[in-house]
Every structure is written in C-alpha cells, then in structure tokens.
Amino acid sequence: MSLTNKQRCRFVLYRRLSLNRRLLPPGPKGLPFIGNLWNVPTEYPWLTYARWTATYGDILYLDTPGNPTVVLNSAQAAADLFEKRSRNYSDRPDFTMMKLAGWENMMGLMRYSDQMRRRMFHQYFQLRAVPAYYPVQMKATSVLLQQLHKSPDAFVHHVRHHSGSVIMKIVYGFDVDPNGDHFVGLVDRAMESARVIGNMGIFVVDYIPSLKYLPRWFPGANFLNLAHAWSKDVQNMKQSPFEYTSQSLAKGDAPSSFVSENLTKMKQFGAPDCAAHLEVIRDTAAIAFAAGADTSCFLQCSRFFSTLRYKPRPKPELDAVVGSTRLPNFDDRPQLPYIEAILSEALRWNPVVPTSIAHRNVQEDVYRGYYIPAGATIIGNAWAILHDEKDYPNPLVFDPERFMSAEGKEPQPEPIAAFGFGRRICPGRYLASNTAVDRHCVYGIDVVRLPRLWILKVVLLNLVIPLRTVL
C-alpha cells in the first residue's frame, strides 16, 4: 500500500471517529467500515424511510462511507432546512449514476452556482410567462379529445403525445404528429432512466462513486451497462430536436420557441464563448422538454383515473360554470374548486418523484441538537410528507374533499412538496400544472366513456409510478 493510500485510510478513519463523537441524527445501526451500505433501501426507498419514522423520528441518518445521508420525513424539518436555511441547503450532490447515464449539465441536477441556465429557464416558465402558452395547450387538448374519442384503447399513448406536443411546441416550435412522433419517443426512452435514477438510493454507485471505474464486465457492475445504454438515449433527446430547430432557423422558417428565440439573441448580441452558450441553450431546452412531457403525462393519467372515481361531483360543477355550448378554458379555473382539488389530491396521493431530488448542504450544521456534516446528501421524502397522518388523515385514501373549504373546516395543506423544496423547487411547475388541469380533459371523459377498471390497469402497467405500492 502506498503512503498516499495509507494517509487516505487514516483520514477516513479519523473522520468517522470524529463524527461518532458528535450527536448525529438517529438511524438504523450500521456495520464497521461499511456503515449502512448493507441496509440502505434500494426498492421503494421512500416507503422504508417513512416506516423508519416510527422508530427514529422525522429526521434520520444513514452512515454511508464518504457520503453521509440525512432523510427528512416531515414538512416541518423540510421547511426548517430547505427554506429557512436555504443558503446552506440548496446545493446538489454529485449524482454519479445520473452523470454516467448522460444527465450531466442538466439544470435541476447541477450545483446551485449555475445562474445562466436558471435565469434562462425562469424567463420562459415563471408564473407570469405561462399564460402565453394557453393557446398551445388548448389546441393540443382539443387534438387529445379527438384521439381519445377515435381510439380510447390507446389512452396512455394519446396522453403521452398530448404532453409531449405542448412542451415540444413551446421549446422547439415543432408540431407533434398525434399518431406517433419520433421526438416524443426520444423523451420517453430517455426518461426511463430518470424515473429510475431520480430516487436517490437505487444504485450503490451514488454512495460509492469510485465504483464507476469498474470494468463493465465486472460482476455486479451491470449498472455501467445500463448507464451506457441510457446515455445514448439521453444524448439523442438533447441533440435531435435542438438540431431540428437550429436548421429551421437557418432556413428562415422557424416559429417562435424557447430555442429559436435564444439562438437569435445569441447571434444578435454575441456570446464570449459560442460553443458553451449553445450547450447551455441545448441542455436547458432538453430538461424543459423531458421534465415537462413526463410530469404532465403523469399528472394527466392520475387525474383521468381519479376523475372517473369522482365523476358525479366534477360533472355538475363543470355544467354549472361552462354549460353545454362550449368547452372549458383557463379563465374558468377559479370557478372550478372541486376539479382543482382533484389535481391537488393526485399530486399528494401519488407524487411524481417520491423522494424528491436530493439536496446537499455546503457547510456543517446543527439542527435540533443533531450534527449534520458538510457535504451530506439531504433527502426530502415527499411521499412521507404528503402521507403524514398529522396533516392528511387517512393518507392512503384518495379524497379531494380534504382540499375543499367548508364551514368549520380548514382545507389541508397544499401538496407543494410534490414539486420539491426551497430554492430548488421545480421551476416548470406552473406549466406542468396548467397542462394537467386543462378543463377539456375532464369534460372529455363523458365523450370517451373509458372503463374504470381498464383505465386503472393501463395506468399501472404503463407508468413507472409509486401508485402500485399502496394498492
């Protein structure tokens, strides 16, 4: 063993002994040298973390060598750290598996310092900007209803293409073919990896980054083969639609879009590093495309299912506001509180990313008397927070009434945790929510007449979602 390796071993041992002398948050017992690597949950970790709350409390510690992890299982703990101490808790961990799979340089996964991508994204997807996209959303949903009426058996296919068509038009200016589209297929394949990797703890390489140097043929290194295949899909998703818009702009026939407008600005005002600026535009567009299409599809499928279960109440509400001579539009939204409650309950009951995207603290900290070492991975367990019986009685029951005001009854907290926490909350949440709650979808249920049990089966079989864990 070289002197350098000896020094490293001594440093790691010294650091672990030093941490043990401080009061760390409680957690499951680890083993010497490997800590909790043997019992870190890799299947549905959000459920295991939630169960551990009864034993260890709402803040727990996992001792993983070189990567200490703190899990927050309550809204109070998440608010105290991610919001009140956001300056320290807004960074991201390295996400080794995400990088191996090609998701590096994606804004939501990057360190907090990259302001250029953040500013560019915020300009187009902030609350004040999304009304400009109403016509795109209304047109896409009209097409969706026609497709559902024509072939209801292809329910998930139609909903995926609806979500993809909205974000594709906004980001790249491209009109999606409702009968099947190459670009929507690209994002579907790419997002397969994000749905798996996004929940921290699925792959051990996230806790031991040095495992990425193993050869792909090495026993137990199949994650490298997965990452290699996924990275090709992610690269295609980034590059193909971006090249389409770039070529359309060069020919002079590119419609207004996120990419075309930013490429035009870059040419007009110049950029110190043209290649780097192009990469920023491309990657920011890709994350908007991927996250927008996938999240909106998820919300719409959950919402279709829930609307079928609670159909008697939404229909009279729609009839009273809209009548029988027109379809709903976004101006009707304030007059449709029960339909709004269905969306809130879909977000709460079945969050898109159950463990949210992990944070990282820059400096060491003390919370409730517990020591949190610098550089720890901080997981906000959105599933546990949104199924906390103190805030949401009977949390496994789908009940939109919990978000309705009534005499002597306050509505339960809005499920903001479904979109993340603090400064790293999902910046595209307004567009995703609007796409999902478009009133055409609710109104179209009567036209399509989808079987209740069939729609549940389709949702379960076609979407990688935690719904199946509570049924």
Q: Which of 132-136, 305-309, 431-435 has the highest mean pLDDT?
A: 132-136
Q: At 63, list the tokens.
A: 């001792």
**Model confidence band, residue 272 (pLDDT cutoffs 50, 70, 90):** low
Q: Is the pLDDT of residue 278 over 80?
A: yes
* Band of pLDDT at residue 306, cut at 50, 70 and 90: low
% of the chain with per-residue pLDDT over 70: 80
């290649």: which residue's tokens? 275
What pLDDT is stored for residue 212 in this prediction? Answer: 93
Instruction: Please check the confidence at residue 132 and state whether its pLDDT lies above 50.
Output: yes
Res. 253: pLDDT tops 70: yes
Instruction: Tell me the fold of 21-469.
Output: Cytochrome p450 (1.10.630)
Q: How confident is the model at residue 444 (pLDDT cuts 50, 70, 90)?
A: very low
Q: How confident is the model at residue 3 (pLDDT cuts 50, 70, 90)?
A: very low
- Band (pLDDT 50/70/90 cuts) for residue 95 is confident
Residue 24's pLDDT band, with cuts at 50, 70 and 90, is very high
- Residue 59 — pLDDT band, cuts 50, 70, 90? very high
Q: Tens digits of per-residue pLDDT, 196-207?
A: 776 666 788 888
Say whether pLDDT at 383 is over 90.
yes
426 annotated as ligand-binding? yes
pLDDT at 196: 76
Higher pLDDT, 324 or 271: 324
Q: What is the pLDDT of residues 168-218, one digit of tens each?
A: 899 999 888 877 778 878 877 887 787 777 666 678 888 888 899 999 999
- Mean pLDDT for the stretch of residues 44-56: 94
Determine the average pLDDT of the residues in 116-128.
81
Question: Is the pLDDT assigned to residue 51 strictly greater than 50?
Answer: yes
pLDDT at 443 over 80: no
Mean pLDDT of the chain, nearest integer: 80
Q: What is the mean pLDDT of the segment spanning 318-343?
A: 80
Q: Which of 116-125, 302-311, 432-441 has the lowest mean pLDDT?
A: 302-311
% of the chain residues with pLDDT over 90: 32
DSSP state of 91: B
- pLDDT bucket at 225, cuts 50 / 70 / 90: very high
- pLDDT for res 100: 92
Per-residue pLDDT tens for 347-380? 898 888 899 989 999 999 999 999 999 999 999 9
Predicted confidence band of residue 104 (pLDDT cuts 50, 70, 90): confident
Q: Which amino acid is at 449?
A: R
The answer to whether 380 and 78 have CB atoms below 8 angstroms apart is yes
Mean pLDDT of 325-341: 81
| pLDDT band at 314; cut points 50, 70, 90 | low
For residue 455, pLDDT over 80 is answered with no
Bigger pLDDT: 407 or 129?
A: 129
